[in-house]
Amino acid sequence: MGIDGPSSTSLLNTGVQGFQNATSRANQAAHEIATQSVTDSTKDSVNTQDLTESLVDLKTAEIDARANVKVIQSASDLIGTLLDVTA
């Protein structure tokens, strides 16, 4: 019985790439929120549509990151189980 390396590492890589993408999107959304707040502090009104979109993007990125952490944890558990079975 051998360890199916490519699929377990593929699962791990998918989780890591997804987490990195979610982190990048969260950073972008946070930057947009900060920029909007600074820019609009000099105006009489805040562009709530842009701010709302950025907040939704930030929350979506957070949910995506959490989901990808679960994928990484599952891949780690799978690799650990496969190692236990072969030991």
Percent of the chain with pLDDT over 90: 57
What's the rounded mean pLDDT across residues 2-27?
A: 85
Question: Is residue 52 scored above 70 in pLDDT?
Answer: yes
CA angle, residues 47, 52, 54, in degrees to nearest 5: 100
What is the full DSSP assignment across 61-75?
HHHHHHHHHHHHHHH
* pLDDT confidence band for 38 (50 / 70 / 90): low
What's the rounded mean pLDDT across residues 37-55?
A: 75
Which two three-digit tokens encode residue 75? 């891949």
Question: Is residue 30 scored above 80 in pLDDT?
Answer: yes
Which two three-digit tokens encode residue 45? 């009104």
Give the side-chain half-sphere CA count within 13 A for 53: 7
CB atoms near residue 22 (< 10 Å):
20
H helix runs in the chain, sequence order? 5-40, 48-86
Question: Is residue 68 scored above 90 in pLDDT?
Answer: yes
